[in-house]
Amino acid sequence: MSKHYSKQNLKEIAGGDEDFMAVVAQTFLDEIPPDLEALEEAIDNDNKELAYQFAHKMKPNFEMFGVDLIKDAKAIEDWTKTSKNKAAVSENIKKMVTTLKAVFRELKDDFSL
């Protein structure tokens, strides 16, 4: 089964140090779930400024972990600069939630966290 993140990306960043990789994975698990929840809430409340901040904050993590959500985060950032309603990004946030929940499970399994 293919992963929703790239352990290879993480390995390169950590220089192959498994302990450091586990620390980085734990940090991701500590920070991203509340950020995701806050992003969902900001979109629900049409708080575009806050939605932009959380989408923007998450992008480097997606890049570091090879999670294919940068386009979705960018779409949310772009939406915050328009007058479109939240339906315009409903598919993006749905994909982010679904994908990230899978990443959280995979990281916990892969690093016994």
pLDDT in tens, 40-92: 999 999 999 999 999 999 999 999 999 999 999 999 999 999 999 999 999 99
* pLDDT classification of 1: cutoffs 50, 70, 90: low
* pLDDT classification of 96: cutoffs 50, 70, 90: very high
> Is 22 a residue whose pLDDT tops 70?
yes
Q: Give me the domains of the chain, ranges plus CATH numbers.
A: 7-110 (1.20.120)
Mean per-residue pLDDT, 35-39: 98
DSSP string, 65-107: TT-TTHHHHHHHHHHTTS---GGGGHHHHHHHHHHHHHHHHHH
pTM of the model: 0.94
Backbone CA torsion sign across 109, 97, 69, 40: negative
